[in-house]
Amino acid sequence: MSAPQPQLDISRKATPREWLAIAPVALGTFALVTSEFLPVGLLTSVASEMQASEGITGLMMTIPGLVAAVAAPAVMLVAGKLDRRIILWVLSAILVLSNLIVALAPNLPMILLGRVLLGIDIGAFWAISSVVATRIVPAASVGRANSIIFSGISVGAVLGVPAGALIGHAFGWRASFGVVAGFGAFVLAAQLWLLPRLAPTEVVSMRHLVALFRIPQARIGLIAIFVSFAGHFGAYTFMGAFLEHVTHATPALLSSVLLGYGIASFTGNFVAGAAAQRDARMTLGLTALGLGVAMVLLTIFGSAEVPAAVLIILWGFAFGALPIATQGWMLKAAPQEMESASAMYIAVLQLGLASGAFLGGFAVDRIGLIATLVSAGVVCLGTAAMVWLFGRDEQASFANHAMSPRSAEVVKD
């Protein structure tokens, strides 16, 4: 017999204790993003010590994304009825272990082994953390709770990665990974203390994952996730190069603009949290539109410093909103299969990230920097058009799915 769905009081607000339980998940997000992108500022140092080319050493960035795309659904398939709190504990321990392996590695293959473990952690953690808020806080507070959890992405980019690079340049690249490992241990301790029991919303099976593609709005969401993240990372990888070669930004201006991008991203994250809960279609459509407009206009007006800075800030705001907007769409598209939807969300996101970065690099070498940014912008504009044209019946589709027999399949007694 299927277990009854919990009756949510949509008017009740979260208690201080419930908000406190969200904190260690947000800290875990920060630690994970910092770990994933830490090699960006340390790649040359690692390559030099390992006597390897920067291209080969760049696998430190490629491998985690590819592994995460597989790990997100795989971990959810084997998780069964296990308390999601326990999975988060294990994943935080893996985060510590992966960074320690890298910090102590005697050679590049051992470093890459540590990054494989990080990829497993990334995929599974995002899949779990995407639905944690729905198990900790009442329905009325889920949007804000998700914004807090996903704010770790922006904070990691604004503070974590630059701090890691600063530590690495002062004390050696190994020290950076060691510090992140220590912070991961702190996060694990906080999770052991503060997280309540997190019962699974469903037992995820391959049938549930495949069933998502039969839900029209879920299909639209998965396509939008892949295309929008591919478009973003196809251009974002070369944002700094654009500012240097086209805008001719000084180092001080470059740092200031990138800081503004990070602050705008942080702001966009919170704005989208409330907006996506009210209107998922409008939020996702406007987010993709903002990305596309910023990229295309940057190639037209980006030779001047002020317009370039304004457009980069718009880009940052839109990207900060993107994870929340896409996640909000998927949770509304498959409300009774949140863990399945979350697993596929992370898998498709990571594939989009890896594909965008790879194709962006390929395009820059062959058609040039400006054409690459225009192409990426058009891809994002296409995402906005798709959401606007084919997402019109979103509420009816969401409601029909919520009432369907298949969507009522949850954890069996």
Residue 45 lies in a domain: yes
Q: Are residues 189 and 213 in the same domain?
A: no
Q: Are residues 403 and 261 in the same domain?
A: yes
Residue 388 lies in a domain: yes
Residue 9 lies in a domain: no
Q: Are residues 126 and 221 in the same domain?
A: no
pLDDT of residue 395: 45
Last residue of a domain, one of 130, 159, 194: 194
Tokens of 51: 């006597």
Domain count, the chain: 2
pLDDT reading at 13 higher than 60: yes
pLDDT of residue 285: 92
Dist. CA 62–CA 192, nearest whole Å: 31
pLDDT of residue 218: 84
Q: Are residues 187 and 212 in the same domain?
A: no
What's the residue count for the chain? Answer: 413
> Are 313 and 264 within 8 A, CB to CB?
yes
In sign, the C-alpha dihedral spanning 368, 229, 158, 179 is negative
Q: Are residues 247 and 224 in the same domain?
A: yes
Return the closest-CA partner of residue 154 out of 388, 321, 389.
Answer: 321
Percent over 70 (pLDDT), the chain: 85
Phi, psi of 4, rounded to the nearest 5 degrees: -70, 145
Chain Cα centroid distance, residue 167: 25
Last residue of a domain, one of 194, 226, 257: 194
pLDDT of residue 130: 66
Q: Are residues 72 and 159 in the same domain?
A: yes
pLDDT of residue 97: 96
Q: Are residues 241 and 384 in the same domain?
A: yes
Q: Are residues 150 and 282 in the same domain?
A: no
Residue 99 lies in a domain: yes
Phi, psi of 368, rounded to the nearest 5 degrees: 100, 165
**More reliable by pLDDT, 130 or 345:** 345
Average pLDDT estimate for 366-372: 87
Mean pLDDT score of the chain, rounded to an integer?
80
> Are 277 and 138 within 8 A, CB to CB?
no
Dist. CA 100–CA 71, nearest whole Å: 21
Last residue of a domain, one of 194, 228, 253: 194
Domain limits for position 378 = 206-408
Q: Are residues 218 and 170 in the same domain?
A: no
Return the closest-CA partner of residue 235 out of 42, 382, 378, 63.
Answer: 378
Average pLDDT estimate for 7-12: 52
CATH of the domain at 67: 1.20.1250.20
Q: Are residues 148 and 257 in the same domain?
A: no
pLDDT of residue 347: 81
Phi, psi of 247, rounded to the nearest 5 degrees: -80, -20
Identify which of 9-23, 24-38, 118-132, 381-395 has the greatest average pLDDT. 24-38
CA atoms within 13 A on the CB side of 65: 20
> Are 285 and 276 within 8 A, CB to CB?
no
**More reliable by pLDDT, 340 or 406:** 340
Q: How many CB atoms lie within 10 A of CB 250?
A: 12
Dist. CA 154–CA 140, nearest whole Å: 24
pLDDT of residue 358: 75
pLDDT of residue 22: 85
Q: Are residues 331 and 369 in the same domain?
A: yes
pLDDT of residue 383: 93
Identify which of 66-70, 218-222, 298-302, 330-334 has the greatest average pLDDT. 298-302
Residue 257 lies in a domain: yes
Residue 199 lies in a domain: no
Dist. CA 277–CA 146, nearest whole Å: 10
pLDDT reading at 167 higher than 70: yes
Residue 90 lies in a domain: yes
Dist. CA 220–CA 50, nearest whole Å: 44
Strands (E), 358-408: none
Q: Are residues 184 and 216 in the same domain?
A: no
User: What does the pLDDT look like over 230-268, one tens digit per residue?
Assistant: 999 888 867 777 887 888 888 778 777 877 887 888 888
> Are 123 and 75 within 8 A, CB to CB?
yes
Entry pTM: 0.70
Average pLDDT estimate for 161-182: 87
Residue 2 lies in a domain: no
